[in-house]
Copies of this chain bind each other. A is one copy, B any other.
Amino acid sequence: MPSQPAKQDARSKLLDAALTVIRTKGYAATTVDELCAAAGVTKGAFFHHFKSKEALGVAAADYWSEMTNGLFAEAPYHDHADPLDRVLGYVAFRKELLQGGVPDFTCLVGTMVQETYETTPAIRDACDRSISSHAATLEADIEAAIRNRGLTPDWTAKSLALHTQAVLQGAFILAKAKGGAEVAAESVDHLTRYLKLLFTQKMA
């Protein structure tokens, strides 16, 4: 009966707070005190669960992976019989997620890796794991779509899967610069158009 938000322990509350605060202000500008205030816990609780701010960053990236894994695993686009439809369905699903404020639909690990890639290897690696493992879930469908269409492309399923992530991450940056989702949605439309062209082209 009792819902989650009330019964959460300090660790979960801190991780949830980290997702929203870091996505809004970035990792470096987010202070431990701020995280504690947003989570409604004290600093003692913070350092009981995380040995440092950096450790929280790594845990937040892992937590982000868990959350998104669940979200995408349950998304309806997997139901399509045609693997290309699953890939296109994935991208359409990503477009549907572009709702609410910019901090709500942008990517935690994309934000964090920008700030930490040179200075904090542990966080960079956690962000890389998150992005790369998510891209890998697309790779199988792309591979199946290639076989299904009998293509022999000069690109790999892996590089295309990563390209979809590049487009999305770049779309988030434009959304942040312009203060809205519209520009991101248009970039996702271009990605969809590319995928359709790739798999339906009548090449010379």
Q: Which residues on B sit within 8 Å (CB–CB) of A189?
A: 155, 159
Q: Which residues on B sit within 8 Å (CB–CB) of A162?
A: 174, 183, 186-187
Number of interface residues of A (CB under 8 A): 54
Q: A190 and B194: CB pair below 8 A?
A: yes
Q: A190 and B155: CB pair below 8 A?
A: yes
Prevailing SS type, chain A contact patch:
helix
The reply on A83 being an interface residue by CB < 8 A is: no
Encoded as 1 (CB less than 8 Å from any B CB) or 0, chain A from 109 to 126 comes to 111011111110000100
Q: B113 and A173: CB pair below 8 A?
A: yes
- Which residues of chain A in 140-197 are interfacial with respect to chain B, using CB atoms and an 8 Å cutoff? 155, 159-160, 162-163, 165-171, 173-174, 176-179, 183-184, 186-187, 189-190, 193-194, 197
Q: Give min CB distance, A53 to chain B, whole Å.
A: 12
Which A residues contact B (CB, under 8 angstroms)?
24-26, 28-29, 102-103, 109-111, 113-119, 124, 127-128, 131-132, 155, 159-160, 162-163, 165-171, 173-174, 176-179, 183-184, 186-187, 189-190, 193-194, 197-198, 200-202, 204
Q: State in angstroms the CA–CA spacing of A200 and B202 once bound together.
A: 10
Q: Which residues on B sit within 8 Å (CB–CB) of A24?
A: 118-119
Q: B163 and A186: CB pair below 8 A?
A: yes
